[in-house]
Structure 1
Amino acid sequence: MKNILLSESPWVLEAQTEEQQKERIATLFDLNNIRSNNIAALTRLQELQNSSGAWSWYKGMSGSRYVTTYIAELNARLAMMTGGKLDGAALALQKNAFTYLHQEALKEYKEILKAQKDGVKFTGVSGSILQYLYLVAISGEQVPAANKSAYTYYLSKVGEMLTTASMDTKAIAAIILDKAGRKKEAQEFVASLKEHLTKTAEQGMFFAFNETPYAWGGMKMQAHVDVMEALELIGGNNDTVEEMKLWLLKQKQTQQWNSPVATADAVYALLMKGVNLLDNQGDVRIVIADEVLETVSPSKTTVPGLGYIKRSFTQKNVVDARKIEVEKRNPGIAWGAVYAEYESPVSDVRQQGGELNVQKQLYVERMVNNAPQLQPVTEKTVLQVGDKIVSRLSIRVDRPMDFVQLKDQRGACFEPIGSVSGYNWSNGIGYYVDIKDASTNFFFDHLGKGVYVLEYGYRISRAGTYETGLATMQCAYAPEYASHSASMTIIIK
């Protein structure tokens, strides 16, 4: 149930891509396809690895420590998820990568020793060294004899980061210390992490202060996953980890992750240990209007392999659809939505909203002491032709959402001031505005958690009695999140 036609939005291409993704989902469960992709990926990695063991950003470039660490981390995490050890081509790639990383870590250690002789003091370790220590910890890699002194020095500096490090750094430090046998220090880092967690019944556990719309392609996701991993590997935090899984799934519900890094992190966090979500077949039984819907019935699912069903009821084939029974018959998470469409006089509509909320207030501009002043419009406000009206839309979002659309209806007596559509930036938020004959549409590619205020003006063009119209807002990516304002009757003299 989309409030705005897709053809009216700037997201037609994204919607086509999403539909193609749904069509390809079934191939992800084909074992032959999986084996073929694995062989192709390993062959490609072999071709791109330099003689030093490093990988570069692009073929022909010099080795990149960052790219090499990232690929080695994915290999190590893959081994942890499967419960086995790397072998064959994957093992050879990993050994070559560690040869390069050991050399880089030793080179940095020698530079530190040289700088210390010149009086430079160091606290903690660099990000690249932290990732190196983390890789050694989760892979069980043996540190070469030449690197023993460097490893011991780096390890001694990790404990100094407790009071100053970010959440993801603390999580990685906890894993390093725990695997090195320094259990007490690791528990201190875990305690610090848990102090910052927030919990809600609907979203699970997460770091509220880490939700920023300006974060690069999923960095908040990376921090969340790192903390989940630390709590899981150190142990004793099963309930917390399961609650944090819920937050990850709720993020995917309302956002399109364009970052492969964030997606890979999320998959790892959901499947590494704990309750196996792949064992949950989503056995849900729904009874509505004397009809039974079963999500485990392949012949009735809308998208194969997803347990997703969609059913529409009209007045002709529904005796009573106001009562719906939903039974979840196995562990795990499931969600759905119910949309009811009916006719009602616009004057009877009341403001509605929840996780996504929009409120509309009209103001009339008056001159007070030779200065313009906005005064709220009520049903008792005396308005005249020519008055300037300002529509103020207050938006509240309790979680990040992608592809959000807002439609603000105009009363027939209003003419917009400025009729040019285009991209705007206002109050720290960017959006595309499309001005129509009877409404103004706003399109937001992304809305971070928070409160936003939009204002635009129009003139009163004719006398009479009118409805101001509704402001309707909806997340096109997750249409179950929607809100609308109330309308109001005004009299123009």
Structure 2
Amino acid sequence: VETAFFLPALTSNDDGSVTIEFTLPDTLTTWQFKSLAHDASLRSGTLLDTAVAAKDLMVEPVVPRFLREGDVVEIPVKVGNRSTGTLAGKVRLELFDARTGDSRQSLLETPAEQPFELAAGQSKPVVFRVRVADGTETLRYLATGSAGRAADGEEAFLPVLSRRVLVDESVPITLRGPGTRTVTVQRLADSKDLPSIASQSLVVQAASNPAWYAVLALPSIAEPTDESVETLFTRLYANSWAGHIARSDERIAAVFEQWRNPPPGQKPLESPLEKNSELMQTLLAETPWVREAVDEREARHRIGLLFDANRAADEQASALRRLEGMRAGDGGWPWFPGGRTCTPVTLSILAGFGRLRAAGVDLDIQPALATLPWLDGQFVEWWNEAKKRGKGEPTIDSGVALALYARSFFTADMPPQGEAAAAIDSWRNNARMTWMKVDARRSQGHLAIALARSGDRETALSIIDSLRQRAVDADVKPGNETDSWQGMWWRDPHPAWWQWAAAPIETQGVMIEAFDEVAGDREAVEALQVWLLSQKRTSRWRGNRATADAIGALLGRGADLLASTELVTVDVGGETLKPGNDDAPRAEAGTGFIETRFTRREIEPRMGTVTLARKEKGLAFGGVHWQYLDDIANLPAVGRAELAIDKQLFVKRQTKAGPELVAVDGTTRVEVGDELVVRLVVTSDRDYEFLELFDHRPSLTEPVDVLSGWRWADGAGWYLAVRDASTQLFFERLPRGTHVFEYSLRAAHRGTASSGFASIRSRYAPEFSAHSSSVGLEVE
């Protein structure tokens, strides 16, 4: 805030009036005038008023935030007469190349100098029409006006953007071996007939064994995030798996050694948020996710320490001692130390002990066995309460289903006795009759496993058959997958935060266990694991419990996913690149991640076809990323089932029935001052995290909402960033489905311009991206 302070010695005239003269700082604006006057008797008075600092002639050009090659825009120069008499003169607009200083007056379609005549206190705009030619760089403009001795002017820079914009097109690849998978970047394959396209880079990536990303997730649950008992158990879970993996195979130990000491020139274990920075519209530092990237990178860098077998054994023993010390008096575990027994936490810990032992992890299960008397008592209590309620046959709920599942791990160690045995049998009989009424698939999976372990395979297989019939892509055989294939999954509604039994990652873990143990269906297990890894591909597994269950389902069930060392072969346009050759990139240890790059003249249309191949069974992920320059006005929309975006432009009209949106097309009349609504429609067939949406704005408009910050609507939250030439939306999480986002612009200048296109990309997995076409805009 600027301040003009004066302390003059003032003398009033005969009628008591005082004339005050002072000099203001060199700022033409409206000032708040505050004064205090007093006399010798200390009588005082104050005056609050405004003072306008202005020149007799004021010249104020109203320029856009930016221009783009090909735009036609009218720039009004407001000329104001602040004097007490009439002013007549001329106003002039001059354009220069900001870099060289050369004149760019040829861009003006109106005379560079125009006359004006203004009465006292009057102002009016003088309009200059500019057509931005191709090759124009940032301009320096000088608007001047003169009328006799009165003169004014303004000089500043006006950014000019190229009509040729950098466009990213990416195609994901999912390969279930043995076999091949071929994808085509169609616009690259057709680029020979598209002279406006200039290829910049082509990046082909492949991860030969993405199951290792499950191992890389272990450090995230091995670190304490709070003092809860459940967090302590997830640390025990992570260290138990780490010790088991480290001791299971010398080849796996060699991978850990490479992670600890990577070869020269190789940077493994980066966060996915930090990889592929050159493919992003936005630097990571400009997103809201810097902290998440740093945390994930630091966790991955600690992985070498985590997989030290001796340390893992020490951590496991320490966690077991602490877990035993936190037990409540009745034998269960509280949520936090000192609290009462929390049933969901206790059942989750019991099930975790059981899954670890079933996977062959060496672990002392005595803490779990010591909890069984409490659980057996709960079965009796629950059954008695159910009988008291009467009203027909009790319907089993998710809590009882989880309890039956957890108890079934330890039947041979400690068979239930007496009332507990009778209550458990009653609940099993109830499950046989009412399992189809249980809403949560996770609970149906729990019941299938528990019943199979008790000897009732008939009912268990009926549950599995029902689950199979409701699954998506359950009948897809290897080699018949589509490009958007995600494995075997279910179209469940997105659960509310309190519906723990419907949590998707934990539910998929139970599905893997059920199809493996009950049905022995290895093909289904593999397809289920594909979905689980697909979720890790585009997002994090949310929460410690979800991560722990996912790791157990991937590493503890089905084939040994870490055993394969085969690297996929990559064929680009008929040329095969084999990792290990001198001309091929070095593969990252474990994951087998490789990346091949081509630039500009190396890129040919035939390279639009890319094939991944592997001889062994197993899953591989890949992606093709093509960057090219093209005219922003000619760009067609590119999207896939995995991710697509559509951009629509409307003008808001006020009618008797209320506001109405009219689509902007070649016949729509748009005038200066109209409110325009940009509608962005995003569709996806999977959940995403860390999505970036980048929308170009037309130069003739100004954003209505200029403040960046978080926004929420329709169950989604995003960070809105308003830039000079674009609007960006950052989504930390976006569920699958169709989402509509809108923001408003104000038509500020007459002319014609392209609205530009909108693009969306996963920062976690940049092979998932899409962009819209561009919309033309004419403002009258």
Same-fold status (TM-score > 0.5): yes
* 1:155 aligned residue (403, 418, 428): 428
The reply on whether 1:137 has 2:137 as its aligned counterpart is no
TM-score, structure 2 length as denominator? Answer: 0.58
Partner of 1:358: 645
Q: How many residues align?
A: 485
The reply on whether 1:447 has 2:738 as its aligned counterpart is no
Partner of 1:471: 758
Partner of 1:394: 681
The separation in 2 between residues aligned to 1:311 and 1:24, in whole angstroms, is 28
The separation in 2 between residues aligned to 1:71 and 1:148, in whole angstroms, is 22
Contact 2:649 2:775 in 1 (8 A): no
Tell me the SS of whatever aligns to 1:198: coil
**Code of the aligned partner of 1:233:** E
Partner of 1:243: 527
* 2:624 aligned residue (327, 338, 346): 338
CA drift of 1:335 comes to 0.8
Contact 2:488 2:527 in 1 (8 A): yes
Partner of 2:558: 274
Contact 2:761 2:770 in 1 (8 A): yes
The separation in 2 between residues aligned to 1:343 and 1:216, in whole angstroms, is 47
* 1:39 aligned residue (272, 294, 317): 317
* 1:309 aligned residue (589, 594, 599): 594
| Alignment CA distance shift 1:187-1:359 (3 Å) | same
| Alignment CA distance shift 1:184-1:69 (3 Å) | same
Tell me the SS of whatever aligns to 1:433: strand
The separation in 1 between residues aligned to 2:695 and 2:308, in whole angstroms, is 46
Partner of 1:209: 492
* 1:10 aligned residue (288, 294, 311): 288
CA drift of 1:38 comes to 2.3
The separation in 1 between residues aligned to 2:497 and 2:602, in whole angstroms, is 48
CA drift of 1:132 comes to 2.8
Partner of 1:255: 539
| Alignment CA distance shift 1:381-1:125 (3 Å) | closer
Contact 1:281 1:296 in 2 (8 A): no
Tell me the SS of whatever aligns to 1:55: coil
Tell me the SS of whatever aligns to 1:344: strand
* 1:221 aligned residue (505, 508, 533): 505
| Alignment CA distance shift 1:481-1:296 (3 Å) | farther
Partner of 1:486: 773
| Alignment CA distance shift 1:418-1:147 (3 Å) | closer
* 1:185 aligned residue (453, 456, 459): 459
Partner of 1:75: 353
The separation in 1 between residues aligned to 2:749 and 2:290, in whole angstroms, is 37
Partner of 2:194: none
Contact 1:410 1:440 in 2 (8 A): yes
The separation in 1 between residues aligned to 2:311 and 2:585, in whole angstroms, is 25
Which region of structure 1 is more displaced relative to structure 2, 119-128 or 253-262? Answer: 119-128
| Alignment CA distance shift 1:216-1:423 (3 Å) | farther
Q: Which whole-Å deviations, capped at 9, do the CAs of 1:351-385 have from their partners, x for residues lacking one?
A: 11111111111112345568543222123434332
Which region of structure 1 is more displaced relative to structure 2, 327-336 or 301-310? Answer: 301-310
The separation in 2 between residues aligned to 1:295 and 1:402, in whole angstroms, is 33
Tell me the SS of whatever aligns to 2:371: helix
The separation in 1 between residues aligned to 2:609 and 2:397, in whole angstroms, is 59
* 2:515 aligned residue (224, 231, 240): 231
**Code of the aligned partner of 2:355:** R
The separation in 2 between residues aligned to 1:130 and 1:391, in whole angstroms, is 48
Q: Which whole-Å deviations, capped at 9, do the CAs of 1:232-254 have from their partners, x for residues lacking one?
A: 21124322222111111111111
Which of these two proteins has the greater Rg computed from alpha carbons? 2
**Code of the aligned partner of 1:130:** A
The reply on whether 1:48 has 2:322 as its aligned counterpart is no
CA drift of 1:77 comes to 0.7
Contact 1:283 1:330 in 2 (8 A): no
Output aligned runs, 1:85-96, within 5 Å.
90-96=364-370
The separation in 1 between residues aligned to 2:654 and 2:580, in whole angstroms, is 62
Partner of 2:162: none
The separation in 1 between residues aligned to 2:611 and 2:461, in whole angstroms, is 45
The separation in 2 between residues aligned to 1:458 and 1:227, in whole angstroms, is 48
The separation in 2 between residues aligned to 1:145 and 1:372, in whole angstroms, is 72
Which region of structure 1 is more displaced relative to structure 2, 190-199 or 24-33? Answer: 24-33
Partner of 2:395: 124
Q: Which whole-Å deviations, capped at 9, do the CAs of 1:66-100 have from their partners, x for residues lacking one?
A: 22221111111111111x7x66xx23212211122
Output aligned runs, 1:167-182, within 5 Å.
167-182=441-456
Q: Which whole-Å deviations, capped at 9, do the CAs of 1:225-271 have from their partners, x for residues lacking one?
A: 22322222112432222211111111111111231111111122223
The separation in 2 between residues aligned to 1:213 and 1:398, in whole angstroms, is 19
Contact 2:579 2:587 in 1 (8 A): no
Contact 1:394 1:454 in 2 (8 A): yes
Which region of structure 1 is more displaced relative to structure 2, 441-450 or 101-110? Answer: 101-110
CA drift of 1:28 comes to 4.8
Tell me the SS of whatever aligns to 2:436: coil
CA drift of 1:24 comes to 3.1
| Alignment CA distance shift 1:288-1:251 (3 Å) | same
CA drift of 1:308 comes to 1.8
Partner of 1:62: 340
The separation in 2 between residues aligned to 1:404 and 1:129, in whole angstroms, is 38
| Alignment CA distance shift 1:377-1:30 (3 Å) | same
Output aligned runs, 1:404-443, within 5 Å.
404-443=691-730
The separation in 1 between residues aligned to 2:594 and 2:336, in whole angstroms, is 43
| Alignment CA distance shift 1:176-1:389 (3 Å) | same
Q: Which whole-Å deviations, capped at 9, do the CAs of 1:407-463 have from their partners, x for residues lacking one?
A: 111111011113122222234432221111111111112111111111222122112
Q: In proportion to residue count, which structure has more helix?
A: 1
CA drift of 1:121 comes to 4.7
Contact 2:464 2:519 in 1 (8 A): no
The separation in 1 between residues aligned to 2:707 and 2:543, in whole angstroms, is 33
The separation in 2 between residues aligned to 1:53 and 1:365, in whole angstroms, is 65
CA drift of 1:159 comes to 1.5
Contact 1:3 1:474 in 2 (8 A): no
The separation in 1 between residues aligned to 2:757 and 2:738, in whole angstroms, is 19
Tell me the SS of whatever aligns to 1:424: strand
Q: In proportion to residue count, which structure has more strand?
A: 2
Tell me the SS of whatever aligns to 1:341: strand
The separation in 2 between residues aligned to 1:103 and 1:74, in whole angstroms, is 20
Partner of 1:284: 568
Partner of 1:196: 470
The separation in 1 between residues aligned to 2:308 and 2:366, in whole angstroms, is 27
TM-score, structure 1 length as denominator? Answer: 0.89
Q: Which whole-Å deviations, capped at 9, do the CAs of 1:143-168 have from their partners, x for residues lacking one?
A: 12452222222222111223311222
Provide the alpha-carbon RMSD of the alignment.
Answer: 2.9
Partner of 1:20: 298
Tell me the SS of whatever aligns to 2:766: coil
